[in-house]
Amino acid sequence: MRSRFFLTGIFVVALAIQPLMAQTSGRPGGHKHEPLPTPVNLKVLPKDIAPEQLIRIMRGFTGSLGVECSFCHAMNPQTHHLNFPSDAKPEKAAAREMIAMTRAINDAYIAKVHDPDAMPEQKQVTCGTCHRGHSTPEVFIPPPKEQPVPSAEAANPE
């Protein structure tokens, strides 16, 4: 009985680690991850930023603006891949300006607001604050205030 449980346990462990072994072995069908390249041509983000952190930031931008990477990054016509270091698209220059703007707003103004009840994420301006999932900032139009309807007695005082 114990040997049957032991063999079943060995079988389950072997099934569980098999996909991990395929990933690291480089065999066909396995997923061999190459290291991400070091980011270049960074002008407003830290030049020593880790590639994984840069990808997280960029994904945040795409979500906040409802766009894909190609919105700011030019396509390389030879490789048909995005050329991330390229400054060919004016949208990339605008994005850099917007990053600098939000940083300045947060540092010069929002950081000085004392609100002990606010969570840290509520104490910052982000791309999503204005863009709200659109490539151009969303115009905020406050809803009209409902005015109380005057009663018949208030309209005709006697």
Over residues 43-53, the pLDDT tens digits come to: 999 999 999 99
Cα Dmax for the chain:
100
Angle (CA) 110-114-120 rounded to 5° is 65
Residue 151 zone, left/alpha/beta (φ > 0; ψ -120 to 50; rest): beta
pTM of the predicted model as reported, rounded to 2 decimal places:
0.68
Q: Is the pLDDT assigned to residue 111 strictly greater than 50?
A: yes
On the question of pLDDT at 68 being above 90, the answer is yes
pLDDT band at 32 (very low <50, low <70, confident <90, very high): confident
